[in-house]
Amino acid sequence: MGSLALLARELGHSVSGSDQNVYPPMSTQLEEQGIALHSGYDDEYLREPPDLVIVGNAMTRGNPAVEALLESAVPYCSGPEWLRTNVLQGRWVLAVAGTHGKTTTTSMLAHILEQAGLEPGFLIGGIAQDFGISARLGAGQYFVIEADEYDSAFFDKRSKFVHYLPRTLILNNLEYDHADIFADLAAIQTQFHHVVRTVPASGRILVPEQHKALDEVLDKGCWSECAYMGNMGGRARWQRQDGDTLLLLDTQSEEQAQLRWQHAGEHNAANALAAVAAADHVGVGLAASVQALTSFQGVKRRMEKLYDGQGVCVYDDFAHHPTAIRLTLEGLRRSKPRARIIAVIEPRSNTMRMGSHAQALHSSVVEADWVIWYTPEGLDWDPGFLQDKVANRVDLLASTADIIELLGKQIQANDEIVIMSNGGFDGIHAKLVERIKRTHV
């Protein structure tokens, strides 16, 4: 929604919004862009009726702002509907979908097109450090968008990406998620097939090789070119070999290129391959894409290094699904094999709070030497089992103050601390860094 606000303002509209518990970096971005933010959900924003209200998908019936809007005569729509009508119509849309890696892949792809001189527009679910913002209209015909499968609004239960009109579509991966709105994986696969149906015959769909859940989606029908991505030596058109240097290959042209960069982990290698394959569809060659990625800085809150001093590093990471947690920690272990890795995790997403992924949590953190789970009241499951039959140290703490106090006493040189949450996590990031700065390590 913050990104939509930026686009609407760039189109010349006067924009304001209502939210609660706003936290950086989006709150900072809105302030820097001069967008007024009202804290809370009262009807103050309707006292001088706006021309249009864009309703975020976190809003529900019973919310005071929603109820006041429905009682008024003010026009309203969902964010995806507004985006389709006012920004995407008539443009070449490159959409990035999948359970994991959407934000990073979208940022990589936008960076590649920017470096190629194509001046793309983009909408990213985070702030790309190469651009310093999460959205812009762009001057060219191309628009890169993070395509989320979550529903559009309380009055439109279709996935957001159904509105996005992609000509180039990346389907990075597909696992069960969003247990608050999807009963099972099959329900999500239905939505993925809905977006597949919207890609024109001249379009391109990029899919990982031998991915059962996505193969089942495409088996329902596919009317566009389908190009596969996979590991070196397979049958996919786009191939990669992850090592100290990432090797990328286009088997159709037999062109290959080596990528030396700072972003470790199998997940980043897969994201890079997808971005390169999508850029090829709009005429950016492999060599140019790889050259662009050498300068890719990353995304705020995606293994963003917050502190590096006194022998200790602190990272902020958005991981909130067991697979994302595992891949992030595996990547860090690979780059820091001798470090003590400490994972501090808030199970904040609706799916995590409901316990739908509880049984996968043990295996997601095996690369961490020490895991601190934030376990406040309100979880629908008992986290006690997380301490059972584990080789690493595991602590369960119900307050961020206790987490900071424990870490502050036991941090030592060669610690790599990853704070994982898809929310503000009670401001633990800045508080922990401040504590470390006061602590002699």
What secondary structure, in 3-state letters, does 238-255 show? EEEECCCCEEEEECCCCE
**Distance (Å, whole) CA 111 – CA 20:** 31
Average pLDDT over the chain reads: 88
Q: Range with the lowest mean pLDDT among 160-174, 284-298, 401-415?
A: 401-415
Average pLDDT (9-22) is 87
336 compared with 440, residue with greater pLDDT: 336
Question: Is it the case that residue 255 has pLDDT exceeding 90?
Answer: yes
Share of the chain above pLDDT 90, in %: 46
Which pLDDT value is given to residue 356?
Answer: 58
Which pLDDT value is given to residue 394?
Answer: 84
166-202: per-residue pLDDT in tens?
Answer: 999 999 999 877 777 788 899 999 999 999 999 999 9
* Residue 322: count of CB within 10 angstroms of its CB: 20
Which pLDDT value is given to residue 335?
Answer: 80
Which pLDDT value is given to residue 176?
Answer: 78
Q: Where are the beta strands (DSSP E) in 283-339?
A: 304-309, 312-317
Nearest partner of 117 among 134, 136, 145, 142, judged by Cα: 142
**Distance (Å, whole) CA 402 – CA 396:** 10
- Cis-peptide, bond into residue 25, ω within 30° of zero: yes
46-86: per-residue pLDDT in tens?
Answer: 888 899 999 999 899 999 999 999 999 899 999 999 999 99
Which pLDDT value is given to residue 40?
Answer: 85
Which pLDDT value is given to residue 197?
Answer: 97
Average pLDDT (370-396) is 80
**Distance (Å, whole) CA 411 – CA 193:** 48
110 compared with 307, residue with greater pLDDT: 110
Which pLDDT value is given to residue 204?
Answer: 97
Domains and CATH numbers, the chain: 2-77 (3.40.50.720), 81-293 (3.40.1190.10), 304-438 (3.90.190.20)
Question: Is it the case that residue 440 has pLDDT exceeding 60?
Answer: no
Which pLDDT value is given to residue 353?
Answer: 63
Q: Please report the DSSP string for 99-154 in residue order.
A: SS-HHHHHHHHHHHHHHTT---EEEEEEEETTTTEEEE--SSSEEEEE---SEEET
**Distance (Å, whole) CA 379 – CA 368:** 23
Which pLDDT value is given to residue 284?
Answer: 97
Which pLDDT value is given to residue 358?
Answer: 64
Query: CA angle at residue 178 from 7 to 203, to 5 degrees?
Result: 55
Average pLDDT (135-141) is 94
Average pLDDT (252-258) is 92
Average pLDDT (7-36) is 84
Which pLDDT value is given to residue 411?
Answer: 87
Average pLDDT (157-166) is 95
213-250: per-residue pLDDT in tens?
Answer: 999 999 999 999 999 999 988 899 999 988 778 899 99
**Distance (Å, whole) CA 142 – CA 150:** 24
Which pLDDT value is given to residue 252?
Answer: 93
**Distance (Å, whole) CA 278 – CA 95:** 9
Rg of the chain (C-alpha set):
22
Which pLDDT value is given to residue 268?
Answer: 85
Share of the chain above pLDDT 70, in %: 96
Number of residues that this document lists for the chain? 441
